[in-house]
Amino acid sequence: MLKKESKVPRDPVKVDRILAAAMHEFACQGYQAAKTDVIAQAAQVSKGLIFRYFGSKAKLYLAVAHWVFDRLNAVADFSVWQNAPDLQSMLTRALRYKIQLQLQFQDEMRFGMALYGGSDLPETVKPQLQALIQNELSMASTDLAGPVLARMPLREGVSPALVEGLIQGMITLVSQQAQPFLDAHPHAKVEDLEWLVDEVQQYLDVLEHGFLQA
């Protein structure tokens, strides 16, 4: 979509450098505080070239959002979710795998968390960003959790969509809890966040069995 809006010929090498530099700046500073001068310097291009390629800082942010999701979806192993025998296995596997991704793709994951948070987004492209987020959430619910929930005997009146929403909220919460630890421990390993896996298993126990005494 963005390429159709711009008739300016683009050097793909420079485009990748701009997107990578912008992702890092947006991930570290947020949208409002991010500086296109810093992005240009890191990408080794002129500030004018950024605006010729993308039109505005807001459209650059939107381009980065698409780029980040494309990168993560390209490397993600969805079978981690889909082949799990039950909900507890799925969430435990998914959490460990997501922590691994956060360690390997720190800028991408930090950018994604800020995007899902939605508190510092450019107004001019907010509808496009919200549509992108909704599409990713729908994909996650249908393609990832869906096959596992389809194999589970949900009680009458509980829809898979309701459980999917609860699971997504839990994963978002856990990711938010993991990010400060990863920021403070840039060389951490997956094992260093095993405490978070234990916490999620407690959440899941409450989700499956309730919190009231039988």
What is the rounded end-to-end Cα distance, in angstroms, of the chain?
A: 54
Q: 155: pLDDT confidence band, cut at 50, 70 and 90?
A: confident
Task: Provide the pLDDT for residue 2.
Answer: 47
What mean pLDDT is predicted for residues 175-187? 73
Q: Model confidence at 1, in pLDDT bands (50, 70, 90)?
A: very low
Give how far the C-alpha of residue 213 lies from the chain's centroid of Cα atoms, to the nearest Å. Answer: 36
Model confidence at 89: pLDDT above 60: yes
State both tokens at 171. 């994963």
Give tens-digit pLDDT for 33-77: 999 999 999 999 999 999 999 999 999 999 999 999 999 888 888
Q: What is the amino acid identity at position 20? A: A
Query: Taking 80 as the threshold, does the pLDDT of residue 107 lie above it?
Result: yes
Is the pLDDT assigned to residue 115 strictly greater than 80?
yes
- Residue 76's pLDDT is 82
3 state DSSP class of 153: coil
* pLDDT the model gives residue 3: 45
> 157: which DSSP letter?
T
The answer to whether 65 and 132 have CB atoms below 8 angstroms apart is yes
Give the C-alpha distances (Å, rounded to integers) separating 112 from 42, 132, 136, 159, 173: 21, 11, 11, 28, 13
Q: Is the pLDDT of residue 6 over 60?
A: no
**pTM, whole model, 2 decimals?**
0.70
- Contact assessment for residue 129 and residue 65, using Cβ atoms and an 8 Å cutoff: yes
Q: How far apart are CA 161 and CA 55, in angstroms?
A: 39
Question: What is the C-alpha to C-alpha distance for residues 197 and 57, in angstroms, rounded to an integer?
Answer: 38
Angle in degrees, 0-180, between the axes of helices 194-209 and 87-104, rounded to the nearest 10: 150
Q: Which CATH number fits domain 1-75: 1.10.357.10, 1.20.120.330, 3.40.30.10, 3.40.50.2300?
A: 1.10.357.10
Residue 175 has pLDDT above 50, yes or no: yes
- Which pair of tokens denotes residue 142? 């249908």
Q: Half-sphere exposure of residue 128, counting CA atoms within 13 Å on the CB side?
A: 15
SS3 86: coil
